[in-house]
Amino acid sequence: MSKKFLIIFIFLFSLFATNAFALITYKQSKVVTSDSDQIRGINFKPDGTIMYVTEREANPDTVLQYSLTVPFDISTATLSSQTSIHPVVLPHVIVFKPDGTRMFIVNNTGTKIEQFSLSTPWQTSSLAHEGTYNVSGESQLRTVTFKPDGTRMYVTGQNKKIIKEYTLDVPWDITDSDTVNNTANSASHASIEDNPRNLQFHPDGTVLYLAGNETNSIKKYELSTPWDITSSSLSFSQSYSLTAQLSNMRGFVFTANFTKLYVTDDISSGANTIFEYSISCAGTITCGNPSNDSNVKAIVEAQVELSKRIIKHNTLPVFHRIEWLRRHKNKDNLSNLNAQIEFTNKKVSKLVQGLKSLKKNNNNNLDEKDWHDWSEGRISFGKGKGVTTSPKDIHSYGFSIGTDRIKEEDRDAMYGYVFQYGNDQVDIGHNGTKLYTDSYSISRYSTKLRDNKTFTDGIIGVSFLDIHHHRVTYANILKGDRNGKQIFGSINLGKRLNDEKVNFNPGIKIDLGYTELAAFRENNTLGNSSADELIYKKQNVKSALASIGVLLDKTDNRNDGKLINHHGRLEYIADLSPSSDAEFYYVSSQSTIYKYTVDNKTKHNYRVGYGFDLTYLSGFSVVANFERFGANGKGHSNELYLSLGYVPIDETKFALHFNYDENLKTGINIVKNNKGFSLKFNIDADLDNSNQNSNIYINKSF
């Protein structure tokens, strides 16, 4: 081995052995010597507007409260109050209940943890001492921390050098010794940190950080079982040295979103200083493999599932239309919805108006009676399960507006065009990660009846996707916009077997699709951890489904002026789609590309449904389909398709309107003009909250 190579090797090894890859970046410091004699513990109000520091003085010991004009920016901190914390002597760590109504401080002289109440949340000037808990076996208790729900407490000290775990029968209350129970769980840190000053868990309990002035460094432990500090679960991971700034660490705290670290130091010269650091990857310090992150995997899977779901939502309404045509082939008017449709979504409204104008212009060259308009609305709710990914809640809505005509050369064939809009939202996990999608589709469809029994249906179309990506990691919000485009097609072969009472329609169907998702970048909109940002490369999704099933329908003639047709279905769906590879990398480290392969985990699926057509002689009609899709134990969706129609009589107008923001809202408006009187009836419903409002108005024009 050459001397030059040996030097390079030693240099690289030294980088690895220290914190050269740690991505803890020193930002600034603030000297508080004029405010304090000897600073110790530090903490913040969750919004970063207040900072708390404990200090030891001869008489009395106090807690300093600072106001920050810029959240978490210690350079803007000004002392706002200085409050005695008697009976604490030599205070150390300071911890708050999440709502700011309780405060806990370690009494470094002895074995005590002192509990205080705050009559005004987060205002230490309103504190009152509530009680004490004595920790046995320690001569110098140093730190305390809690599980976020307040049901577990962890302590350590300088004497035993072990972390002890306690359960609290009453969350966030240690004043009754009978309700604080030692679980006998403990972990030694003597070989890692001989003089501990604080410890803090990651909010999910999978990582523990310990630090002290023996080495002036942050020690990271991994927990295979969250909140379990036994040796079988706890393992030392890495050490991050802060000696470049520190000489005598006294306390530390990570912000709630784990994007910043603050450390107190009272060096021998007497300069009491607070140091601020930024964390490159929230909660982990070092950027981990994002392909192992359950939320990242879930949001990638959600986009693959979305590509398939949009195809389904674009093809099924067309097949509902074609099935309706077969049930009503002898009717003179084949428009199942001669109704005005109103949309509160401005973009959608403009598109619909454009289609209406286009059709009106085309009617100049066509026999208007040959074209038949139709529309259908849809709402859907579902859940997705994952073994290694976060669970998903899915809810969406959409509508279809189409027109078709019988071929002049073949009265057993029909073709048409349909425009479709869909809004899809997927809630991932429980921390606020979401996926919002708007889709716009145009399709051509046709149906052909052979020998009066066998039929062939076909669809081909294109879709354009506008995906809004919203990922939350340790309270950091990462957003990105992704475009997509897809082409899809479907063919259905079946036979209509007529019986005196029931029509039997067996068939097979093939659905194919290809989706191209554009590359995009996440941007941090909340928090300070820019290195959590990922860049996703272009991704292709191929889908192939084969279905076999049967549709049954029966028509009942009523004497009360209405005709009702019942129909139900049962299908088996085989998902033959290949896997799809998603590739991504950190903005801060673009040389390392990570990959997550979305395998087809739902090969066996089913579809069951029931629907009815209700037609009144007056011209009013209702077409409804309820369908449930199941995915091999991996999730399900419940979907409702609805068409409401009215053939205008005596200047009656019917309107179905949709609105979707945080809630799913829909409504019906009916306006009837008769002899100068205008009668308006409307129903507005919130489908998420089961709220409904109805109104009737009568106006007379003079």
Q: How confident is the model at residue 388 (pLDDT cuts 50, 70, 90)?
A: low
Mean of the per-residue pLDDT values of the chain? 81
Distance CA 390, CA 299 (A): 9
Distances (CA, A) of 574 to 546, 548, 550, 606: 5, 9, 15, 8
What are residue 534's DSSP bridge partners?
586
Look at residues 181, 242, 254 and name the one whose alpha carbon lies nearest to residue 214: 242
Distance CA 200, CA 227 (A): 11
Least confident of 334-338, 399-403, 607-611, 614-618: 334-338
Do residues 640 and 378 make contact, with C-beta atoms less than 8 angstroms apart? yes
Asked whether the predicted pLDDT for residue 50 surpasses 80, the reply is yes
Distance CA 105, CA 175 (A): 13
**DSSP code string of 158-199:** TTT-EEEEEEESSTT--S-GGGEEEEEEEEE-TTT-SSEEEE
Length of the chain: 702
Distance CA 637, CA 657 (A): 23
Tens of pLDDT, residues 455-482? 999 999 999 999 999 998 766 788 999 9
Q: Which tokens go with 178?
A: 């009978």
Do residues 435 and 467 make contact, with C-beta atoms less than 8 angstroms apart? yes
Tens of pLDDT, residues 510-519? 999 999 999 9
Asked whether the predicted pLDDT for residue 570 surpasses 50, the reply is yes
Distance CA 496, CA 499 (A): 10
Give one word for 373, left, alpha or beta, with left for phi > 0 and alpha for psi -120 to 50.
beta
Distances (CA, A) of 55 to 126, 214, 265, 496: 18, 20, 11, 86
Look at residues 200, 194, 172, 175 and name the one whose alpha carbon lies nearest to residue 41: 200
Least confident of 234-243, 510-519, 533-542: 234-243
Asked whether the predicted pLDDT for residue 396 surpasses 80, the reply is yes
Claim: this prediction has a pTM higher than 0.75: no
Centre a 10 Å sphere on the Cβ of residue 658 and count the other Cβ atoms it contains: 22
Distance CA 232, CA 143 (A): 23
pLDDT value for 487? 97
Give me the amino acid identity at 503.
Answer: N
The pLDDT of 28-50, averaged and rounded, is: 91
Q: Which tokens go with 101?
A: 């109504």
pLDDT value for 611? 92
Which has more pLDDT, 16 or 395? 395
Distances (CA, A) of 404 to 4, 407, 576: 79, 9, 32
Classified as helix, coil or strand, 133 is strand
Look at residues 234, 228, 224 and name the one whose alpha carbon lies nearest to residue 192: 234
Do residues 436 and 480 make contact, with C-beta atoms less than 8 angstroms apart? no
Which has more pLDDT, 504 or 349? 504
pLDDT value for 17? 36
Which has more pLDDT, 483 or 212? 483
Give me the amino acid identity at 343.
Answer: F
Asked whether the predicted pLDDT for residue 205 surpasses 60, the reply is yes
Find the angle CA(492)-CA(341)-CA(697) to the nearest 5 degrees. Answer: 145
Q: Which residue has 């309820």 as its token pair?
A: 626
The dihedral sign for the CA sequence 295, 511, 546, 318: positive
Tens of pLDDT, residues 270-303? 678 999 998 866 666 666 788 888 888 889 999 9
Asked whether the predicted pLDDT for residue 319 surpasses 90, the reply is yes
Distance CA 39, CA 57 (A): 9
Find the angle CA(318)-CA(370)-CA(562) to the nearest 5 degrees. Answer: 65
- Adjacency order of strands within the sheet including 24-31: 24-31, 272-279, 260-266, 249-254
Q: How confident is the model at residue 530 (pLDDT cuts 50, 70, 90)?
A: low
Strand pairing of 234-241 and 217-223? antiparallel
User: DSSP 3-state helix, strand, coil percentages of the chain (rounded to 5)?
Assistant: 10, 60, 30
Asked whether the predicted pLDDT for residue 309 surpasses 90, the reply is yes
Distances (CA, A) of 279 to 68, 258, 417, 527: 20, 7, 54, 11
* Burial tier of 649 (Cβ tally within 10 Å: 0-12, 13-18, 19+): exposed
Distance CA 493, CA 322 (A): 12
Annotate 506-519 with b (16+ C-beta within 10 A) or e (fewer): ebebebbbbbebee
pLDDT value for 331? 61
pLDDT value for 137? 75
Asked whether the predicted pLDDT for residue 69 surpasses 50, the reply is yes
Do residues 59 and 41 make contact, with C-beta atoms less than 8 angstroms apart? no
**DSSP code string of 87-116:** T-SSEEEEEE-TTSSEEEEEETTBTEEEEE
Classified as helix, coil or strand, 58 is coil
Tens of pLDDT, residues 614-637? 877 666 778 899 999 988 767 889
Distance CA 582, CA 588 (A): 19
Which has more pLDDT, 15 or 543? 543
Distance CA 532, CA 259 (A): 10
Residues 6+ apart with CB under 8 A from 532: 280, 281, 282, 287, 473, 476, 478, 522, 524, 586
pLDDT above 70 as % of the chain = 77
Most confident of 91-105, 341-355, 605-619: 91-105
Tens of pLDDT, residues 15-30? 333 333 346 889 999 9
Strand pairing of 476-495 and 503-517? antiparallel
The pLDDT of 333-347, averaged and rounded, is: 53
Asked whether the predicted pLDDT for residue 195 surpasses 60, the reply is yes
Least confident of 106-110, 458-462, 533-537: 106-110
Give me the amino acid identity at 554.
Answer: K
**DSSP code string of 456-523:** EEEEEEEEEEEEEEEEEETTEEEEEEEEEEEEEEEEEEEE-B--SS-EEEEEEEEEEEEEEEPPEE-E
Asked whether the predicted pLDDT for residue 60 surpasses 50, the reply is yes
pLDDT value for 203? 80
Q: How confident is the model at residue 158 (pLDDT cuts 50, 70, 90)?
A: confident
